[in-house]
Amino acid sequence: MVPSHALRFQSMLRAMVEVVIPALPSDQRLALDQAQIIAGNLRILIDQAGRTSDYDRVDLAESAALGRKLADLLDVASAIDTATPDGERALADRVAATKQVTDALLRTALDHDDAAIRGAAGRLVLDQAEKQLIRERVWLRGAGFELDPEALPALDAVLTPID
């Protein structure tokens, strides 16, 4: 049996927290801080193990939804491909391409002569940014920077596309 990445990360985290960090002298603040950063990154890797494609699929769905809403607002056809490709690289490329199209639509909306269109585009972007920010905070929760990490939704909740 080959140990999973998550199991390996868990073993490294346990060694760091239970053996390495306690063995460091308390006057070695830089070494202790760096060891805590390593432990935090291991927690993140454990949380994210096997979930990167899920994150990218939600990112794609939300970017495409924003692009469609902007295209509707501008009353133009959009060239947004909403199909989810197979493979991590293809998925990452589709996310990047979708964001480029969406950014172009946003620039067009923000440059529009109609203040109502500019305002509506701004609201659409702020709504999307809120979703993205929460997802990113949850994604990086394991780093230990959140004041109240339990107030954030579960990882599964932010990796489920909601339009």
Question: pLDDT tens track of the chain, all 163 residues?
Answer: 677 888 888 999 999 999 999 999 999 999 999 999 999 889 888 888 888 889 999 999 999 999 999 999 999 987 788 788 888 899 999 999 999 999 999 999 999 999 999 999 999 999 999 999 999 999 988 777 889 999 999 999 999 866 5
160 inside domain: no
35 & 65 share domain: no
70 & 125 share domain: yes
Q: In whole angstroms, how far apart are CA 23 and each of 15, 28, 34, 43?
A: 11, 11, 14, 20
Overall number of domains in the chain: 2
39 & 61 share domain: no
63 & 131 share domain: yes
CA 129, 127, 105, 63 torsion-angle sign: positive
- Report pTM: 0.78
Residue span of the structural domain in which 43 resides: 5-48
